[in-house]
Structure 1
Amino acid sequence: MEVFAVPDLPEIRAGDDLASLVEERVELRADDVVCVASTVVSKAEGRTMDLADVTAGERARAVAERLEAVTGEAKDPRFAQVVLEESSALLLEAPFLLTQTRFGHVTVNAGIDRSNVPEADLLLLPEDPTASARALSESLGTPVVVTDTCGRPFRHGQRGVAIGWAGLPASRDWRGERDRDGRELGVTVEAVVDELAAAANLVSGEGSGGTPVVVVRDFDFGDHAGSDALFRAREDDLVRQALEEWEFPS
């Protein structure tokens, strides 16, 4: 398997045709998987915002005050307002905002970015990353994964994850297959779109590298059942249920 970045992409702005910019720089094969950082998808879709245009509501002001009391750092209630608007649920209010986005991804601050946004204060995640991936996939003629980076419980550091995908299943399901000793696998479901996103992140990197689109070539999904169930439902997510009952001590 080969993983390489699409070179020389310009700074992406609202209305840019991402698919055309990629096709101008690399000759794609139909079975390539194109991994696209959510930052450039959001920029192309105009998902930027200035804090001057935001009015904080009562709940956002309360959230900001709580965070400031816990962390000792001033928090802008307008930022809290945007986080609330971009979230379907607020799982933790302190010592940081852990949210569920409207498309199901659980992340800090609704995935809102304050870096690499030259013409605005905030960069929001794509409104529907799977719809974004589908549109790119149709234009490019290849599977597409929209990626983001986030931290992990119980481990230091961040890694790439998929937040939208099209043209391939999210997971390959090994259940019912046999291991090397002939035992039937009962629980193994491999989140391949996350693994592809992590591989892409090794090449695209972080910071000012400017290589937000990566091609994964010769990836073989194999003869397995597929599934698009990537985000856990609340009723079978024991960690989320525990978080909802927990409160950070004052």
Structure 2
Amino acid sequence: MGSSPGAGEGARAVPEGGAGAAPSFRVWAVGGMPEVRDGDDLAKLIAAAEPGLVDGDVLLVTSKIVSKAEGRIVEAADREAAIDAETVRVVARRGTLRIVENRQGLVMAAAGVDASNTPAGTVLLLPEDPDASARTIRDGLRDILGVQVGVVVTDTFGRPWRNGLTDVAIGAAGVRVLDDLRGGTDAYGNPLSATVVATADELASAGDLVKGKAEGLPVAVVRGLSHVVASDDEPGARTLVRSAADDMFRLGTSEAVREAVTLRRTVREFSDEPVDPGAVRRAVAAAVTAPAPHHTTPWRFVLLESAESRTRLLDAMREAWIEDLRRDGKSEESIAKRVRRGDVLRNAPYLVVPCLVMDGSHTYGDERRDTAEREMFVVAAGAGVQNFLVALAGERLGSAWVSSTMFCRPVVREVLSLPSSWDPLGAVAVGHGVGAPRERAVREAEGFIAVR
């Protein structure tokens, strides 16, 4: 980890020499950088420490000195409060450790708030706009040394599924941060359909090998990769941040469960998009993890996957419902209006009929205890249905739990050929909702709590 050219060599470069030259590059740490203070001009400090920069070099600048130069040191007796202030969204939490999305859109531990390499009682925040910081350094070096270089502002990240830390790019200017190889072929002629290389992150990691974490060497230079240096209008490192729509791992486990519960809405209008039967089966697998009395399994889920089975059931239920309403003395106009309310089931592309079974229940011969026994099983069945609805939301499927099958259980059993011991607990309409769900009214938990 020296301070002179040649301190490190590697591969993945376009040859700088003549034809047939082996790909190579050099990376070295810049020595002689002073302690950076608020208001310092980083371009001047870097130019003074490394005046031999040439066109095509890439500067790798640790975010800490950028933050110090930009006055991002704040007094903070409580680091947690500083993390709160920089946090936009909690991604995952385990004990005191928080993985969050910060104001810069970066997902990282503690929002990038750093209490190291800064005076006691203060913390260091990340640059407000790391891409703009990189542009300022690049422009300054062009003015001072007359060179066209790329600049990458780096910070240290942990990574899901991998132990250890590595430096990544959080800001960039004049660097092709992504190398899109899609549409090309590999050495065997196979098409490349998903290969987009995070070039800026690879550069950041190369610099970290010579800068280190505690050597006081905050800047490194990469030479021999001039093909990654680009014009001023090249997008910055913000391009490396995956959008929410493309992020399959957006939340930690407990946060994902809470979001799925929050996402669960009653959906009454569905699109024609088909429902993946596998997603419904995964939701059933979640449903049957609910607690139940006496180590029983009181849930059954009847999946109506064909239009014919759905129509046959709903037509039979409709006739039974109309008969009930006529016996209640309802007018034909009132009956027609009430029946239309049940169209949420008819318009859904997929129906599920959850059922309660009492297998394993105890009979006491005492009305009070037998009633309580059945209630235990009903509660367990409801817990299973709630699991099912939440799991559907996690699969990005909308649902509506409608109680209508409970009012005509004999009809449902007959149409679906169910055992007499299966008690239908309504029907769940499943599908892809049309439009955004309505905002749910805020319910403060305190309004539902009694403390003794």
For normalisation by structure 1, the TM-score amounts to: 0.82
**Which residue in 2 is equivalent to 1:180?**
187
**Which residue in 2 is equivalent to 1:8?**
32
Q: Secondary structure at the match of 2:190?
A: coil
Q: Secondary structure at the match of 2:167?
A: strand
Alpha-carbon distance in 2 for matches of 1:168, 1:140: 15
**Which residue in 2 is equivalent to 1:85?**
85
Contact 2:101-2:108 at 8 Å conserved across structures? yes
Greater RCO, CA 8 A, separation 6+: 1
Query: Displacement of 1:49 after TM fit?
Result: 1.2
Relative to structure 1, the CA distance from residue 34 to residue 109 in structure 2 (aligned partners, 3 Å threshold; closer, same or farther) is: same
Identical-residue share of aligned pairs (%): 43
Contact 2:157-2:168 at 8 Å conserved across structures? yes
**Which residue in 2 is equivalent to 1:194?**
201
Determine if the alignment matches structure 1 residue 18 to structure 2 residue 42.
yes
Determine if the alignment matches structure 1 residue 37 to structure 2 residue 62.
yes
Q: Secondary structure at the match of 1:162?
A: strand
**What is the CA deviation profile of residues 154-205 of structure 1, one whole-angstrom value per residue up to 9, with x for unaligned ones?**
2221111000001012110000011112121000000000000000000000
- Alpha carbon RMSD of aligned pairs, Å? 2.1
Query: Displacement of 1:120 after TM fit?
Result: 5.0
Contact 2:158-2:164 at 8 Å conserved across structures? yes
More helix by share: 2
Alpha-carbon distance in 2 for matches of 1:118, 1:20: 24
Relative to structure 1, the CA distance from residue 146 to residue 120 in structure 2 (aligned partners, 3 Å threshold; closer, same or farther) is: farther
Alpha-carbon distance in 1 for matches of 2:172, 2:39: 21
Unaligned runs of 5+ in 2: 1-24, 143-148, 229-233, 259-452
Query: Which runs of structure 2 are paired with 1:1-250 in the superposition (5 Å)?
Result: 1-26=25-50, 27-52=52-77, 78-95=78-95, 96-118=97-119, 120-141=121-142, 142-207=149-214, 209-221=215-227, 229-241=239-251, 243=253, 244-246=255-257
Contact 2:39-2:69 at 8 Å conserved across structures? yes
Q: Secondary structure at the match of 1:245?
A: helix
**Which residue in 1 is equivalent to 2:326?**
none
Query: Displacement of 1:84 after TM fit?
Result: 2.0
Alpha-carbon distance in 1 for matches of 2:141, 2:84: 34
**What is the CA deviation profile of residues 39-77 of structure 1, one whole-angstrom value per residue up to 9, with x for unaligned ones?**
00000001011124xxxxxxxxxxxxxxxxxxxxxxxxx
Q: Secondary structure at the match of 2:249?
A: helix
Contact 2:93-2:252 at 8 Å conserved across structures? no
Aligned residue identity for 1:85? A
Contact 1:171-1:227 at 8 Å conserved across structures? no
Relative to structure 1, the CA distance from residue 136 to residue 119 in structure 2 (aligned partners, 3 Å threshold; closer, same or farther) is: farther
Query: Displacement of 1:104 after TM fit?
Result: 1.5
Q: How many residues align?
A: 220
Alpha-carbon distance in 2 for matches of 1:216, 1:120: 36
Deviates more, 1:136-145 or 1:31-40: 136-145
Query: Displacement of 1:220 after TM fit?
Result: 4.2
Aligned residue identity for 2:124? L
For normalisation by structure 2, the TM-score amounts to: 0.46
Structure with larger Rg: 2
Contact 2:91-2:251 at 8 Å conserved across structures? no
Contact 1:89-1:99 at 8 Å conserved across structures? yes
Alpha-carbon distance in 1 for matches of 2:252, 2:245: 11
Q: Secondary structure at the match of 2:94?
A: coil
Contact 1:101-1:110 at 8 Å conserved across structures? yes
Query: Displacement of 1:118 after TM fit?
Result: 2.9
**What is the CA deviation profile of residues 65-93 of structure 1, one whole-angstrom value per residue up to 9, with x for unaligned ones?**
xxxxxxxxxxxxx3222112112212123
Aligned residue identity for 2:131? T
